[in-house]
Amino acid sequence: MKYDIIIIGSGPGGYVTAIRASQLGFKTAIVEKESLGGICLNWGCIPTKALLKSAQVYDYLKHVDEYGLKAEAIDKDFDAVIQRSRNVADGMSKGVQFLMKKNKIDIIDGFGKIKTGKKVDVTSEDGKVTEYSADNIIIATGARSRELPNLPQDGKKVIGYRQAMTLPSQPKSMIVVGSGAIGVEFAHFYNTMGTEVTIVEYMPNIVPVEDKDISKQFERSFKKSGIKIMTNSSVESVDTSGDGVKATVKTKKGEEILEADILLSAVGIKTNIENIGLEDVGIITDRDKILVNDYYQTNIPGYYAIGDVTPGPALAHVASAEGITCVEKLAGLHTEPIDYGNIPGCTYATPEIASVGLTEEKAKEAGYELKIGKFPFSASGKAKAAGTPDGFVKVIFDAKYGEWLGCHMIGAGVTDMIAEAVLGRKLETTGHEVLKAIHPHPTMSEAVMEAVADAYDEVIHL
């Protein structure tokens, strides 16, 4: 069967691309070997947020007296929490299936492998191979949990994020290796549910991609909640021969043995580019990524790649934006390349983290003269009333022209608030314009205005 566009992979890159392609009049098919929605919807972004919501509600219940309320016999049902997460993911996957049908997109079940001549072989579960062809083929096969040679995952005692979402029982203790978004979100979830958690991070700070002020605040919050944190440390080996896991950890002070029921390896991702025909077609890769131009064309005409398999940030919203940009360019629309300097990043632990643009350190390295403002949520009426006074908003401006260089937030609800900074930077808003935009009271978002006011020595409530 011949299509205008065939997309391999139905994650937030693939399925969004398919819908936009169909809207633009392309006859479109999508190839998926497992579940519609990919890892993000089924085993990542969505089900983890369901787990974290359960943890948040449980934490509220444990501190209900702080809100002038009383409750007795507060308990949890770990199996029910896991099942709720799976039900949320299943419902969202069915939603994607509805969108495919609504937009007249053909779903091809099986493992897709590209061939020369703009063809795709799809192998179904029973081993049958069917050939399809298209004018354009878009690779959106995503990524999976990366395994280190000294941390082989057995799926039982040494696990990746996928197993962490469906453990048959709650472990009493857990070692989390890596403190990126995946690592700290699971660390927060299991700690809140009552598991003893230790984070091992190779870098000097946890959440190392964030502004250092954010990292320090986050570490304080995690330690306050009872999570043990080991920075400048690395797991050298693991022993799973006993009942649990023994991890040999190298620190500045020497080696230390950690024991736990489970070790979660959250050391990054590995792209799914093996055995999909890249070598046969001649598509160039570099360091586990498919090389593309500004509109996601590979070195071979008619073959494109988006999402985690390309060199950009491995984020769901980036994959979606790349796919839309790719097919709009194919349709002949006026399309601008994505500004990768204005991509928001979010971490959904408690407290939440959200950021966009340059950190203070990066801005100084770039040679800017800076105006920096901070506003703590402890001075926010809404945050105090809500019982969530931890955290702050930090803004960074170019002192010469007022350009909004970066925005970094830590606290309740900041993953929703960061969009203001993304839009402001997109529209090339200056600090004075943000300051004079009236923010509603009482809201958490007032902290953005107040942080900008602090940068310009006009702060009112601090």
Whether 39 has a pLDDT exceeding 90, the answer reads: no
- Of the pLDDT bands very low, low, confident and very high (cuts 50, 70, 90), residue 25 is very high
* 222 and 323 share one domain: no
- Given 216, 251, 267, which residue is the final one in a domain? 267
pLDDT, mean of residues 199-217: 96
- The residue segments making up the domain with residue 223 are 158-267
**Is residue 259 located within the same domain as residue 121?**
no
**Does residue 462 carry a pLDDT above 90?**
no
Which H/E stretch holds residue 238? strand 234-239
Residue 317 in any domain: the answer is yes
Residues 253 and 312 in one domain: no
Tell me: do 81 and 20 sit in the same domain.
yes
Q: Are residues 279 and 305 in the same domain?
A: yes
pLDDT at 72: 86
Query: How would residue 45 be classed by pLDDT, with cut points 50, 70 and 90?
Result: confident
Structural domain ending residue among the three candidates 340, 374, 397: 340
- Domain with residue 18: its CATH number is 3.50.50.60
* CA pair distance 265, 162, nearest whole angstrom: 11
Across the range 381-399, mean pLDDT stands at 96
Q: Given a cut of 90, is residue 34 above it in pLDDT?
A: no
CA pair distance 458, 462, nearest whole angstrom: 10
Strand order in the sheet with 196-200: 158-159, 262-265, 173-177, 196-200, 228-230
Q: Known catalytic residue: 441?
A: yes
- Give the tens place of pLDDT for each residue, 262-285: 999 999 899 999 999 999 999 999
Q: What percent of the chain has pLDDT over 70?
A: 100
Angle at which helices 316-330 and 14-23 pack, to 10 degrees?
A: 30
Whether residue 24 is found in the same domain as residue 126: yes
At residue 222, does pLDDT exceed 90? yes
Q: Are residues 181 and 299 in the same domain?
A: no
Exposure string of 216-233, with b = 16+ CB inside 10 Å and e = fewer, is: ebbbebbeebebebbbeb
Query: Is position 422 within any domain?
Result: yes
**Confidence category of residue 30, pLDDT binned at 50, 70, 90:** very high
Q: Flag whether 461 is in a domain.
A: no
Q: Please indicate, yes or no, if residue 460 is contained in any of the structural domains.
A: no
| pLDDT tens column, 111-159 | 999 999 999 999 999 999 999 999 999 999 999 989 899 899 998 999 9
Give the closest residue to 321 by CA, choosing from 349, 301, 342, 351.
342
DSSP state of 94: H
pLDDT in tens, 62-81: 999 999 999 888 899 999 99
Answer yes or no: do 163 and 245 share one domain. yes
Distance, in Å, from the CA atom of 171 to the CA atom of 155, rounded to the nearest integer, reads 14
Is the confidence at residue 404, as pLDDT, over 90?
A: yes
Measured distance CA(137)–CA(134) in Å, rounded? 6
Alpha helices, H only, 140-232? 161-164, 181-193, 212-224
End-to-end CA distance of the chain: 66
Residue 8 confidence class, pLDDT cut points 50, 70, 90 = very high
Number of H helices and E strands in the chain, helices first, is 15, 24
Residue 246: C-alpha distances to residues 55, 172, 232, 238 (Å): 27, 14, 19, 6
Burial (CB count within 10 angstroms: exposed 0-12, middle 13-18, buried 19+), residue 158: buried
**In this structure, are 61 and 186 located in the same domain?**
no
Residue 55 has pLDDT above 80, yes or no: yes
State the chain's mean pLDDT as an integer.
Answer: 95
Token match 């979606």: residue? 320
The phi and psi torsions of 447 (rounded to 5 degrees) equal -60, -30
Assigned token pair, 84: 């709720």
Question: What is the per-residue pLDDT for 409?
Answer: 98
Q: Provide the b/e sequence for 272-296 (b: ≥16 CB within 10 Å).
A: bbeebbbeebebebeeebbebeebb
Give the residue-averaged pLDDT of 95-117. 95
Instruction: Place 206 in a pLDDT band, splitting at 50, 70 and 90.
Output: very high
Is the domain of 10 the same as that of 139? yes
Asked which of 252, 267, 282 is the last residue of a domain, the reply is: 267
Residues 310 and 368 in one domain: no
Residue 462 lies in a domain: no
- Mean pLDDT score, 44-68: 92
431 burial class (0-12, 13-18, 19+ CB within 10 angstroms)?
Answer: buried
CA-to-CA distance for 107 and 94, rounded, in angstroms? Answer: 13
Here the CATH number for the domain that contains residue 414 is 3.30.390.30
> What percent of the chain has a predicted confidence (pLDDT) above 90?
91
In a domain, residue 429? The reply is yes
pLDDT at 1 over 90: no
Q: Considering the domain boundaries, does residue 151 fall inside one? A: no
d(CA 81, CA 205): 31
Give the angle subtended at the CA of 19 by the CAs of 17 and 24, to the nearest 5°: 95
Confidence of residue 221 (pLDDT cuts 50, 70, 90): very high
pLDDT at residue 37, rounded to an integer: 84
Tell me, yes or no, whether 346 lies in a domain.
no
Q: Catalytic: which of 63, 188, 432, 441? A: 441
Q: Are residues 141 and 14 in the same domain?
A: yes
The number of domains in the chain is 3
Interatomic CA distance for residues 212 and 228, integer angstroms:
19
